[in-house]
Amino acid sequence: MVELILGGVRSGKSREARRIECHRTDRPEAWQTIEESYLLSDRLPAESRPDHCLIVDRLTLWLNNWLLKGDEGYAAYVEERHKLLAALATLPGHTILVSNETNQGVIPASALSRQFCDEAGQLHQSLAAICDRVSLMVAGIAMDVKTKGDR
């Protein structure tokens, strides 16, 4: 199962991801958080197990790392994003992806900030299409956006 939790800054995304895992196992020490600066498509399959839950917190920081590398970083990011989407479909166990929703406010003034928002939006749409569950955090409350079988 792959799950995407979106929300603004301090909306309760990370707390919700950990609450889900605590409910699943009743053993809070069993969850594992993955923070990978660049190569998530390699790291997730290496860490994933049928009886584990992986929490990737935060995809927007991962995207930011790539974009700050300039044009070469962007080209590498596009390739890595495709690899990540393919890898997610094959992972055993439960994977929870946490990301900041950045496209519900003012359009940023700088070109890099606009590129970041555009790419985050594309990443989130691609992930939502393949995830079993998508939720949006608002004021600490999880709002179900999609459950398996929804379009």
* d(C-alpha 31, C-alpha 150), whole Å: 27
Q: What φ, ψ does residue 11 adopt, rounded to 5°? A: -90, -10
**Is 82 one of the catalytic residues?**
no
Catalytic residue among 23, 52, 82, 124: 23
Phi-psi bin for 13: left (phi > 0), alpha (psi -120 to 50), beta? Answer: alpha
User: Which residues lie closer than 8 Å to 40 by C-beta, 6 or more apart?
Assistant: 34, 56, 62, 80, 84, 87
* d(C-alpha 151, C-alpha 77), whole Å: 26
Tokens of 28: 């809070």
Tokens of 34: 């993955």
Q: What φ, ψ does residue 84 adopt, rounded to 5°? A: -65, -45
Q: What residues are labeled active site?
A: 23
